A = this chain, B = another copy of it.
């Protein structure tokens, strides 16, 4: 793997991930009703740390393959949407718009995984835990919406 290429893709992940460091779950999130299966707060940064490594590796592997144009376009799409959810949910406290963003992110990650798989199956496989995690996050966002209808309506 071209490590300089890996580092540029990792930089993109860290750019998106900075929103997670800047827009923290505060009193507002703690006060919300959450489903029993909600992961504790510390799980999120740890998971993202691992996922960002996988995503950057997938990008660097696929980028050097022929016919990787759709894999690269979807990689860019998913990272743009990845950085959008946290400011919408924790920054603006918009639960419903957050759900729309994370559904779009799920689709983009799914599209990226398919496109990556077609040029390099290992790159595609590296996106599988990411797709699983954003699906769990989408379910959590949906559950928070359902359990806090009045908070969701007010934003």
Q: Is A59 an interface residue (CB 8 A)?
A: yes
Within the assembled complex, what's the spacing in Å between the Cα atoms of A56 and B82?
Answer: 18
A5 touches B80 (CB 8 A): no
Report the bound CA distance from A12 to B81 in whole Å.
Answer: 7
B80 lies within 8 A of A12 (CB): yes
Copies in the complex: 2
Q: Does A84 contact B (CB under 8 A)?
A: yes
Asked whether any CB of chain B lies closer than 8 Å to the CB of A60, the reply is: yes
- Bound form: Cα–Cα A148–B11 in Å: 30
Binary per-residue interface labels of chain A (4-43) against chain B in the complex, 1 for a CB within 8 Å, 0 otherwise: 0100110111011011001100000000000000000000
Q: Which of A62-70, A122-130, A137-145 binds B?
A: A62-70
